[in-house]
Chain A
Amino acid sequence: MRKQTFWGGVHPAGRKELSSGAPLEPCPPPGEVAIPLLQHIGKPCTPLVKVGDHVDMGQKLGDGEGLCVPVHASVSGTVKAIEPWSHPGGRPCPAVIIENDFQNTYCSAVPPCEDTDALDADGLIQRIREAGLVGMGGATFPTDIKASIGKVETLIANACECEPYITADDALLCTDADRAIRGVRLLRQLLRPARTVIAIEDNKEKAVSILTDKLKNQSDVELVVLPTRYPQGAEKQLIQAITGHQVPSGGLPKDVGCAVFNIATCASVCRAVVDGEPILRRIVTVTGHGIQAPKNLIVPIGTSFAHAIQAAGGLTGEVWKLIAGGPMMGRTQADLTTPVTKGTNAIVALTAADNGEDPHPTCIRCGKCVAVCPMGLQPLYLYRFSRCQDREMLRHYSILDCIECGCCAYTCPGKLPIVAAIREGKPLVKEGKR
């Protein structure tokens, strides 16, 4: 049998034990939420409410045309302001600020559905869109668009959660596996795949045993347990591990007959279609040695990082970096006002002890970056030519194929900020193409 693997990769310390032991807890309701009008890849929503309006929990706050999905109120209360607000993506973005009235009056934009088998593709897609579903692994691509590509060969539910520290999907599977599996089946209904796989890494023993148990007397959904290695959960790498196919350079998963959905997205599909509930909250792993009591929390969308961190006991002394997402691909945050969005799977607070950076990074040409690159690139040259802004050479070395997984920079003994340089180099090549 073909070995289920992908190229390159690294084995960073998992640190998942920090948060995986504590039970999943609801975060106490915040007094105020800031719901960004852009929580997906694409165009921001146009607000549908105005300052002073009373909103119900589940009410649509904004929507738009094209590559856009609606956002919803995660609490009931009064719209206090619609203004630019800090955003985990880094750039401030207009957000609807709601003062919580703690009444939890609920009014969903999506109708619940008992008999999901009776729903046709359009009905499913419509519900998925209206519920504001996006990829909840962090990529935040609108799920309805991803799910309307017609028939695929292989549907993969991604429960790898290969980033260190994060245990949000693990917590979901340990507490609500039925909903996740039902979501996978709903996506099967849409995409009619010949093969459906739930892919998980072997470091999540409890979740693996739960899934094995729940999937034993059926044959439509297959569980594949993969040896833990980062970036297993990256879309292209997971497709390679599961099917052996390589998504063509510049192409999409559907080019090799695949569709990949994060397992939390699958659970949200079920919640949206069956329960008629839009994305109002999500599981967030609040963790790192900078957090007093690391744990997985069910956090209303729009809750500030400060509030979520408080629910995990607060910060411990000096924090070096505050990250939205995992330490390999997440983004550093300037302050604690950032709200939790649909794609925020973790809040990681690192301390100075985690700082492995070097004030004088130096490439010694050891070639380790080449060995670990899952895309077959030569990161040392991407770094060098990004720094001297050589557009031609960046194109020659295929800079646009870089998935920014961070394996190169993680492994670099000279501590080069390779990914930072590549991020600066990519626009040069993109501009040149235009």
Chain B
Amino acid sequence: MNFAMSSSPHIRCGDTTRRIMLDVLIALVPTLVAGTIVFGPRCLVVAAVSTAAAVVGEALWRLLTGQYQTIGDLSAAVTGLLLALTLPATVPYWMAAVGAVFAVVVVKGFFGGLGQNIFNPALAARALLVLLFPASVTRFAAPGTSIPLSGTVDVATAATPLHSMVMPALPEASLADMFLGNIGGCIGEVSSLALLIGGAYLVFRQVIKLRIPVSYLGTVAVLSFAFAPLEPLQWMLYSLLSGGVLLGALFMASDYATSPATPGGQVLYGMGCGVLTVVFRSVGLYPEGVTYAILLMNAASWLLEHFTPTRLFGAPQRKGGLR
């Protein structure tokens, strides 16, 4: 009889990459459902197109470069769905598809695939689309608008709460509308409730730890309270419930590949995301900061990790961060 020979350990826990990605997909379902309730069935088609484009794009990329297939790990599907959730329901389908392929091929594949990418693929793709097609991805239909499933989408656009906050003024929408999702915006940013349900599921399943979301949201809360132009408490709550900061904190910033692996690094990273989000929102031209805040902090992950080495057993003081 031939026995397999290899190094220990010989048993592995049941956790797999595929299971983790499946959990992320499950956690995004409430948000997709909420977006569909607010903006209609076109959201589902955008999500389907984006997800399919990401999966097919990855399959073709791996095939053409002679690498084994990875679509089974579901990470491409997660990227596709996440991208769809950062886009408005009115986005042309082909645009979502272009973004999804860019995400999995350029942002992820070029860097060596899953776990090797520096930038969050979905967010980098969104950044690209904002750069190329600002008119299509930064104009939003009002909640409840009937958006046609096919043909040129030409509906009345509405200001999002963040647009008001650039003024600066408190948005017209009530906090309850903000929480439930009865506002204009991207598919996945409108319903804070749905995002929190998904986030709670990820924490319960131990897919994410609370360090990054809590330090991110905490920093946004403290800064928006401290530097509020008016009504600090309301301003803080509106800041937390608008502009995709919850989607970013729970689903984007917590992305494994692009955030630090050390506990201390994760806290600093979350805080950095928070600071940049608040700065970009108050200074920038676009009424959003989350995308660029997280992308910039992605680039700083390695540095943060090196400034926050883990404490070594038996060594009271560990030799410094960067070599």
**B3, B10, B68, B323: residue with the most chain A Cβ atoms closer than 10 Å:** B10
Q: Answer yes or no: B65 CB below 8 A from chain A CBs.
A: no
B4 to chain A, nearest CB (A): 5
- Contact check: which of A251, A336, A362, A367 meets B261 at CB < 8 Å? A367
* A329 partner residues in chain B, CB cutoff 8 A: 8-9
Asked if A409 and B9 make an inter-chain contact with CB atoms under 8 angstroms apart, the answer reads yes
* A350 partner residues in chain B, CB cutoff 8 A: 10-11
B279 to chain A, nearest CB (A): 27
Bound Cα distance from A249 to B315, whole angstroms: 6
* A328 partner residues in chain B, CB cutoff 8 A: 8-11
- B217-258 contact mask (Cβ, 8 Å, vs A): 1 or 0: 000000000000000000000000000000000000000110
Q: Chain B: which residue is nearest A405 at the CB level?
A: B9
Chain A residues 378 to 434 lying within 8 A of chain B, measured CB to CB, are 378, 380, 392-393, 396, 398, 401, 404, 406, 409-415, 417, 419-420, 423
**B5, B7, B309: residue with the most chain A Cβ atoms closer than 10 Å:** B7
- Contact check: which of B20, B115, B314 meets A248 at CB < 8 Å? B314
Q: Chain B: which residue is nearest A420 at the CB level?
A: B7
Asked if A366 and B8 make an inter-chain contact with CB atoms under 8 angstroms apart, the answer reads no
Asked if B312 and A406 make an inter-chain contact with CB atoms under 8 angstroms apart, the answer reads no
Stretch from A24-32, A63-71, A319-327 contacting the other chain: A319-327
Q: Answer yes or no: A2 CB below 8 A from chain B CBs.
A: no
Asked if A332 and B4 make an inter-chain contact with CB atoms under 8 angstroms apart, the answer reads yes
- A353-370 contact mask (Cβ, 8 Å, vs B): 1 or 0: 011111010111111101
With contacts A362-B17, A362-B114, A366-B256 known, is A330 near B73, CB below 8 A?
no
Asked if A327 and B312 make an inter-chain contact with CB atoms under 8 angstroms apart, the answer reads no
* B75 partner residues in chain A, CB cutoff 8 A: 364
Q: Answer yes or no: B310 CB below 8 A from chain A CBs.
A: yes
Asked if B12 and A410 make an inter-chain contact with CB atoms under 8 angstroms apart, the answer reads yes
* A374 partner residues in chain B, CB cutoff 8 A: 313
**B14, B15, B68, B261: residue with the most chain A Cβ atoms closer than 10 Å:** B261
- A232-255 contact mask (Cβ, 8 Å, vs B): 1 or 0: 000010001000001111110000
Chain B residues 38 to 80 lying within 8 A of chain A, measured CB to CB, are 68, 70, 73, 75
Asked if A12 and B115 make an inter-chain contact with CB atoms under 8 angstroms apart, the answer reads no
- Contact check: which of B1, B10, B11, B114 meets A364 at CB < 8 Å? B114
Q: Chain A: which residue is nearest B312 at the CB level?
A: A376
Asked if B313 and A249 make an inter-chain contact with CB atoms under 8 angstroms apart, the answer reads yes
* A377 partner residues in chain B, CB cutoff 8 A: 310, 312
Asked if B11 and A354 make an inter-chain contact with CB atoms under 8 angstroms apart, the answer reads yes
Asked if A364 and B3 make an inter-chain contact with CB atoms under 8 angstroms apart, the answer reads no
- B83-115 contact mask (Cβ, 8 Å, vs A): 1 or 0: 000000000000000000000000000000111
Chain A, interface residues (CB within 8 Å), range: 35 or more
Q: Chain B: which residue is nearest A381 at the CB level?
A: B261
Asked if B257 and A364 make an inter-chain contact with CB atoms under 8 angstroms apart, the answer reads yes
Chain B residues 1 to 32 lying within 8 A of chain A, measured CB to CB, are 1, 3-17, 19-20
Chain B residues 257 to 306 lying within 8 A of chain A, measured CB to CB, are 257, 259-263, 266
Bound Cα distance from A13 to B309, whole angstroms: 31
* B319 partner residues in chain A, CB cutoff 8 A: 396
- Contact check: which of B11, B19, B314 meets A246 at CB < 8 Å? B314
Asked if B13 and A356 make an inter-chain contact with CB atoms under 8 angstroms apart, the answer reads yes
* A356 partner residues in chain B, CB cutoff 8 A: 11-14
Q: Chain A: which residue is nearest B72 at the CB level?
A: A360
Number of A-B contacts defined by CB within 8 Å: 162
* A322 partner residues in chain B, CB cutoff 8 A: 3
- Contact check: which of A364, A373, A410 meets B9 at CB < 8 Å? A410
* B115 partner residues in chain A, CB cutoff 8 A: 362-365, 414
Q: Chain B: which residue is nearest A248 at the CB level?
A: B314
Q: Answer yes or no: A164 CB below 8 A from chain B CBs.
A: yes
Asked if B261 and A321 make an inter-chain contact with CB atoms under 8 angstroms apart, the answer reads no
Asked if B9 and A406 make an inter-chain contact with CB atoms under 8 angstroms apart, the answer reads yes
- Contact check: which of A247, A404, A411 meets B15 at CB < 8 Å? A411
A270 to chain B, nearest CB (A): 31
Asked if A401 and B313 make an inter-chain contact with CB atoms under 8 angstroms apart, the answer reads yes
Asked if A413 and B315 make an inter-chain contact with CB atoms under 8 angstroms apart, the answer reads no
Q: Answer yes or no: A48 CB below 8 A from chain B CBs.
A: no
Q: Chain A: which residue is nearest B266 at the CB level?
A: A367
Asked if B311 and A376 make an inter-chain contact with CB atoms under 8 angstroms apart, the answer reads yes
A199 to chain B, nearest CB (A): 18
A81 to chain B, nearest CB (A): 25
Q: Chain A: which residue is nearest B69 at the CB level?
A: A360
Bound Cα distance from A318 to B1, whole angstroms: 8
Asked if B314 and A415 make an inter-chain contact with CB atoms under 8 angstroms apart, the answer reads no
* A348 partner residues in chain B, CB cutoff 8 A: 10
* A298 partner residues in chain B, CB cutoff 8 A: none
A391 to chain B, nearest CB (A): 12
- Contact check: which of B10, B68, B309 meets A354 at CB < 8 Å? B10
Asked if A323 and B10 make an inter-chain contact with CB atoms under 8 angstroms apart, the answer reads yes
Q: Chain A: which residue is nearest B14 at the CB level?
A: A356
B266 to chain A, nearest CB (A): 8
A166 to chain B, nearest CB (A): 13
Chain A residues 137 to 174 lying within 8 A of chain B, measured CB to CB, are 164
Asked if B68 and A360 make an inter-chain contact with CB atoms under 8 angstroms apart, the answer reads yes
* B6 partner residues in chain A, CB cutoff 8 A: 321, 332, 357, 417, 420
Q: Answer yes or no: A114 CB below 8 A from chain B CBs.
A: no
Bound Cα distance from A328 to B70, whole angstroms: 28
- Contact check: which of B8, B14, B259 meets A406 at CB < 8 Å? B8
- Contact check: which of A250, A365, A398, A404 meets B257 at CB < 8 Å? A365
* A378 partner residues in chain B, CB cutoff 8 A: 261-262, 309-310
With contacts A249-B315, A356-B14, A410-B13 known, is A364 near B310, CB below 8 A?
no
Q: Chain B: which residue is nearest A404 at the CB level?
A: B8
Contacts A/B (CB < 8 Å), 9 sampled: A246-B313, A249-B314, A250-B314, A332-B4, A355-B4, A357-B12, A358-B16, A364-B115, A414-B17
Closest 10 CB pairs of A and B: A356-B12, A406-B9, A420-B7, A367-B261, A249-B314, A375-B313, A327-B10, A364-B115, A413-B15, A246-B314
Given contacts A247-B313, A362-B115, 10 further A-B contacts (CB under 8 A): A164-B11, A320-B3, A330-B8, A335-B3, A357-B12, A362-B113, A363-B115, A368-B15, A401-B312, A415-B16
